[in-house]
Amino acid sequence: MIQFSYERATTTKAAVSALANNTSAKFIAGGTNLVDLMKRNVMAPTKLVDINAVPLKDIQQKNGKTIIGALALNSQVADDKMILEKHPLLSKALNAGASAQIRNMATVGGNIMQRTRCAYFYDTALPCNKRQPGSGCGALEGANRMHAIFGSSAQCIAVHPSDMCVALVALDATVVVAGPKGERRIPFGEFHRLPGDHPEKDNTLQSNELITAVEIPDNAFSKNTHYFKVRDRASYAFALISVAAALQMDGKVIKEARLAMGGVAHKPWRLLEAEKSLVGKEANEATFKQAAEIAMQGAKAYKNNAFKLKLGPNVIVEALKNAAGLV
Amino acid sequence: MNEAFFDKKDYKPLDRVDGHLKVTGAAKYSAEYVLPNMTYGVLVGSQIAKGTIKSIDSKAAERAPGVLAVISHLNAIKVPGYQADPSKPAKPAGGPQPLRVFFDNKIYSNDQPIVIVVATSLEKAKHAASLVKVQYDKEVHTTDFDANMQNGVLPEAAKKNPKSGSADYDRGQTTAFETAPVKIEAEYIIPNEMHNPMELQAVTAHWEADDRLTIYDKVQGTKTTQRFFASEWKIPEQNIKVISTFVGGAFGNGLRSWPHETAAILAAKQVKRPVKLMLTREQMFTMVGYRPRTWQKVQMGATKDGKLVAINHNSVGQTSSYEEFTEATLSQTRMMYAAPNVSTRYRILPLNVATPIWMRGPGEATGAFGLESAMDEMAHAIEMDPIEFRLLNYTESDPDRNLPWSTKYLRECYEEGKKRIGWNNRKLKPGSLRDGEWLVGYGMGTGTFGANRGPATVKAELDMEGNLVMHCAITDIGPGTGTAMVQIASNTTGIPTEKITFHLGSSEFPNAGLQGGSSTVNSVGPAVLAACNALKEQLIAMAAKKDASAFGSAKPDDLVFEKDHIVLSEKSSAKVALSDLFKQNNNRKIETTQESKPSENRSKYSMNAFSMHFAMVHVHPFTGQVRVKKIVCCADAGTIVSPKTAESQMIGGATGGIGMALMEDAVMDHRFGRYITKDFGDYHVPSHADVPQIEIYFVNKPDLLADPVGSKGLGEIAIIGVAPAIANAVFNATGKRVRELPITPDKLI
Ligand SMILES: Cc1cc2nc3c(=O)[nH]c(=O)nc-3n(C[C@H](O)[C@H](O)[C@H](O)COP(=O)(O)OP(=O)(O)OC[C@H]3O[C@@H](n4cnc5c(N)ncnc54)[C@H](O)[C@@H]3O)c2cc1C
């Protein structure tokens, strides 16, 4: 860990201006990801701007939208009455992540911004284009059991590790950010990037922008949702594959569907084509299998993660079965 | 008169005598000693697996605030006890060569400690350590076990001594397998599994004078550690004090000394101040030992009606390039079942990795995965219940050593375990049971481990108030040794447990061996007995002076404490107040020091503890997730002197077995010879949600041939056999046989 300066911001404006002119400064919220990375010398900000005192913790309902402050804690959101009622999928996804202790510290903004858990990214003795552009991708021909099957590039095959983001992308959320020039709104699906030739960039947030909130438009999915996460142990492990499924049912027929996957790509992976295939069909195993097949089109495996090609469709079917109440 | 005191089996559950200290944080562990002038050491590890150090640029680190020294082979003081021949690290004249830290520029494994930075605070030392720049001359390394397995060699120890446990072994006909009516053959692999006790390896080294060293160290043997560093630093043993009062789990990791300990001692000598050094969690994967990756092949032959004809069991285990690590992977195969024809072949494979070390239930747990999986495969092949199959091949004497068992109550374990797990629900045909979407399966695995015993000495003092204080150099790495010894002493004397103290964990105390190999209660317990009995004899002699007719011919067994009196069991009227007795001694306490040693029974009997583990699992057919729903552990461990801590031991072992079966896996990228999973985020051990109800049953019958306490030890048998029980249950649930641990979801879909 290197020496760094520390400053506390109490307003959005102060937070944003504290970062101006210093590209190696970073916000710190719960610190559950950033501090680990600093300890391993993976990230070495020269200045930390503590945003915990910025009043961005509230969860409100306004104009047909649920607005969640960027500093709301993962546990707070997961247990929030309104969230449980209106967006249970989000609550389920949050509770599938990390441990109770970490969720008590982790914030919504930090969760969105958390970095990949790729082991090559974490070890400064190994190559990683995301950590050190141009050094190569260690995982490409290395230990890549946990890695991407969608949207990877020769530069990077890491996955975004968040569970919460899988639910948020399925729920058509919007990320609200504040920058030197004011507010910007980014559709969730466009917030995170694919690695392409610049895996060092996880997302489209500018280095001097602060996430202030996440908005979720009202929807009719609250009755039929499920977050199915497959991991190497019963709790406290990142997803091998996870699926967020939300259905709006009309009797036995699916009126609308939302489907997204985690643990498969550099960003939470929305399955738009599969969603479309579900609309107007009866909710049954055959329908779900067909959607799963569509969802997996274009998937590509590496040496150690071929199992994801088989596991992926199974998890989609299981998530949909559970959402539809068929299990 | 309280008859219960005379019933030696009456050991009641007792809260840990040091429990309060532990949960309140008052218990001091090796890194918690605060010494004047303390400094902090941080190790820098190599970033290559083989080669030499070309240069070390330590300028920036030396200039960093608070830095006192940056020590490497370039400027380290000489360690007088290092063996001199640098060209033969693997085989110096006198046996294996532990890694000589800061000795020369050679790199034998990745993350080998090559520099220690010493600074006035931990943070400063860490920061400076990140500034050290090292250049290497890389050589081609070999770390890939699977690709090099054919290069396994017979250990030197076996070459020298054909009777050694690692030597080739044949009983009966070596070709019997070929002609057996039913044959199975299978290969099994366990990955490198890392020790990772809660407490990180830590040492605080303090040279009190030029030739006087005190170390607060996380070890399993204070005396062995004292001897090791006495020879390393060429100073008299009595000049070294090793303090290890509390150990936050060790599981074998503290059975020997590691380079970081020498690094701290060396640095303390060089900076002339105490140095505290604690490994990081990641360094726990590379700078101390681990359970080695092991390949096994089992060929098993049986008759159609379930009589074993032959077992051929081969294994190859990983070791380092500089030391030959061996363990008893194949011992269970030689003695567990009544197979007339048995052959074992044990090999080790030197690689450019750090040296392994015994890890709970060491080789036996590894071997049991092979043997007990194969037993299950055979039972399936002949369509027989796995318990019935084992009972058909039950041994009433040790077929390896041709000796009777001192005791063996494994049958009782089968019977009780069957009931408790609900074995009757099990179906012979895999995949027949369901609970909702989940497949349900039952499995079992047997374990055994030597009822080991070594010499131990205990000093006991008794004061006129009836307070009993004992001392012994043994450590307590978590099983609750203090509690067990207090219970033995209380049981022997009748003194209530609150009035008994057992001091341990210091080389200043009377001799004891390592806390390892399930031997502590069997070794130190008898010394406690002996010391208590010697005290009683002194009291009887004192009492006889007052009342010769009652006490003149009394034996220690007749005597018991009752409040502030001693009484004779048979003649309850004979009763003397302690205060009266101690007057003879001017009210000074009485004391004794007693050694207890294994008896010649050890050559007349085979002495083993046995366990039987049952598992019930659910497997999700579409996603491959395994949930262990229930575990029942039954143990024949002799007398259980501390029922509560013994039960905790078993639960801990079973939990370790769940990790071994389902999660633990230190993955290495062989292109770099570096571990990929090296923290608790990536290297999985069971979380609470993975640990089901674990039921424990002890046969609790004494083995008085093994030792006068009647205990056979249970730390190891708690885990030996758990992993195959789970793997067998997974097979019973799914029909899928996973022969390479861990059984992760990808292997079941
Ligand atoms: C052992 C372990 C297991 C875990 N398991 C899971 C899991 O299973 N599933 C899962 O989803 N997550 C998991 N996590 C990750 C966890 O969810 C994240 O660490 C957490 O959400 C990060 O939030 P934080 O507030 O602590 O972020 P910090 O560590 O404070 O910050 C993380 C990053 O976000 C930036 N940042 C924070 N807030 C803002 C903001 N408002 N605007 C702009 N940038 C911001 C920081 O600058 C930093 O770069 C796990 C973490 C650990 C340590």
- The string of DSSP letters for B41-109 reads EEEEE-SSSSEEEEEEE-HHHHHSTTEEEEE-TTTPPP-TTS-S-TT-SS--TTS-----TTSSSEE-S
Average pLDDT over residues A165-176: 98
Average pLDDT over residues B673-681: 95
Q: Provide the pLDDT for residue B745.
A: 98
Q: Is residue B205 one of the residues assigned to a domain?
A: yes
CA A150 / ligand 1 centre spacing (Å): 23
Q: Is residue B599 one of the residues assigned to a domain?
A: no
Do B306 and B277 have their domain in common?
no
CA A28 / ligand 1 centre spacing (Å): 10
Do B234 and B85 have their domain in common?
yes
Do B42 and B91 have their domain in common?
yes
Do B494 and B642 have their domain in common?
no
Do B226 and B81 have their domain in common?
yes
Determine contact, residues B331/B307, Cβ cutoff 8 Å. Answer: no
Whether residue B390 has pLDDT greater than 50? yes
Predicted ipTM beyond 0.95:
yes
d(CA A10, CA A29): 12
Among B341-355, B558-572, B586-600, which stretch is predicted with the lowest mean pLDDT?
Answer: B558-572
Of B269, B284, B299, the residue at which a domain comes to its end is: B284
CA A4 / ligand 1 centre spacing (Å): 20
Q: Quote the pTM value.
A: 0.97
pLDDT-derived band at A303 (thresholds 50, 70, 90) equals: very high
Of B574, B593, B612, the residue at which a domain comes to its end is: B593
pLDDT-derived band at B185 (thresholds 50, 70, 90) equals: very high
Phi then psi dihedrals of residue B129, to 5 deg: -60, -35
Q: Which of B290, B296, B281, B256 is nearest to B109 (CA)?
A: B290
The residue to mutate among A46, A49, A108, A111, having the most atoms of ligand 1 within 8 angstroms of its beta carbon, is A111
What residues 218-257 of chain A have any CB closer than 8 A to a CB of chain B? 228, 230-238, 240
Residue nearest to atom 1 of ligand 1 (CA): B681
Do B504 and B548 have their domain in common?
yes
A75-86 pLDDT, tens per residue? 999 999 999 999
Q: Is residue B209 one of the residues assigned to a domain?
A: yes
Q: Chain B within 8 Å of A35 (Cβ-Cβ)?
A: no
Ordered by where they begin, the domains of chain A are 224-324 (3.30.390.50)
Is A119–B682 a contact, with Cβ atoms under 8 angstroms apart? yes
**Cβ neighbours for A232, distance < 8 A, ≥ 6 positions apart:** A240, B662, B663, B684, B744, B745
Average pLDDT over residues B210-216: 98
Q: Chain B within 8 Å of A28 (Cβ-Cβ)?
A: no
Do B394 and B508 have their domain in common?
no
Do B518 and B570 have their domain in common?
yes
Do B99 and B243 have their domain in common?
yes
Residues with CB under 6 A from ligand 1: A 26-34, 36, 51, 70, 74, 97-98, 102, 105-107, 109-111, 113-114, 161-164, 210-211, 238; B 681
SS3 B519: coil
Judging contacts by C-beta atoms under 8 Å, the chain B residues touching residue A46 are none
pLDDT-derived band at A158 (thresholds 50, 70, 90) equals: very high
d(CA B406, CA B605): 5
Q: Is residue B498 one of the residues assigned to a domain?
A: yes
Catalytic residue among B193, B323, B324, B716: B716
Residue nearest to atom 19 of ligand 1 (CA): A33
d(CA B259, CA A311): 44
Percent over 90 (pLDDT), chain A = 98
Count the domains in chain B.
3
B210: domain CATH number? 3.90.1170.50
Q: Is residue B216 one of the residues assigned to a domain?
A: yes
Answer yes or no: B716 catalytic.
yes
Largest CA distance in chain B: 84
Q: Is residue B20 one of the residues assigned to a domain?
A: no
Do B471 and B527 have their domain in common?
yes
What residues 390-429 of chain B have any CB closer than 8 A to a CB of chain A? none
Is A41–B687 a contact, with Cβ atoms under 8 angstroms apart? no
Is B623–A318 a contact, with Cβ atoms under 8 angstroms apart? yes
Q: Provide the pLDDT for residue A2.
A: 82
Show the tokens assigned to B493: 């004397």
B62-78 pLDDT, tens per residue? 999 999 999 999 999 99
Q: Is residue B375 one of the residues assigned to a domain?
A: yes
Phi then psi dihedrals of residue B591, to 5 deg: -150, 160
Average pLDDT over residues B383-412: 98
Can you give the residue range of the structural domain that contains B622? Answer: 150-192+290-452+604-747
How far B745 CA lies from chain A's nearest CA (Å)? 7
What number does the ligand 1 atom closest to the CA of A162 have? 11
Show the tokens assigned to B411: 């049958």
Closest by Cβ to A235, choosing from B127, B662, B687: B687
Determine contact, residues A66/A60, Cβ cutoff 8 Å. Answer: yes
Percent over 70 (pLDDT), chain B = 97
Do B385 and B488 have their domain in common?
no
DSSP H/E element including B473: none
Determine contact, residues B623/B749, Cβ cutoff 8 Å. Answer: yes
Of B569, B593, B617, the residue at which a domain comes to its end is: B593
Whether residue B465 has pLDDT greater than 90? yes
Q: Residue B201 has what DSSP assignment?
A: P
Q: Which of B745, B741, B652, B655 is nearest to B193 (CA)?
A: B741
Q: Is residue B7 one of the residues assigned to a domain?
A: no
Do B504 and B624 have their domain in common?
no
Determine contact, residues B508/B241, Cβ cutoff 8 Å. Answer: yes
3-state helix, strand, coil in chain B (%, to 5): 30, 25, 45
Q: Provide the pLDDT for residue B3.
A: 37
- Which three-class secondary structure string do you get for chain A? CCCCEEEECCCHHHHHHHHCCCCCEEEECCCCCHHHHHHCCCCCCCEEEECCCCCCCCEEEECCEEEEECCCEHHHHHHCHHHHHHCHHHHHHHHCCCCHHHHHHCEHHHHHHCCCCCHHHHCCCCCCCCCCCCCCCCCCCCCCCCCCCCCCECCECCCCCCCHHHHHHHCCCEEEEEECCEEEEEEHHHHECCCCCCCCCCECCCCCCEEEEEEEECCCCCCEEEEEEEECCCCCCCEEEEEEEEEEEECCEEEEEEEEEECCCCCCEECHHHHHHHCCCECCHHHHHHHHHHHCCCCCCCCCCCHHHHHHHHHHHHHHHHHCCCC
B473: domain CATH number? 3.30.365.10
Is A126–B669 a contact, with Cβ atoms under 8 angstroms apart? yes
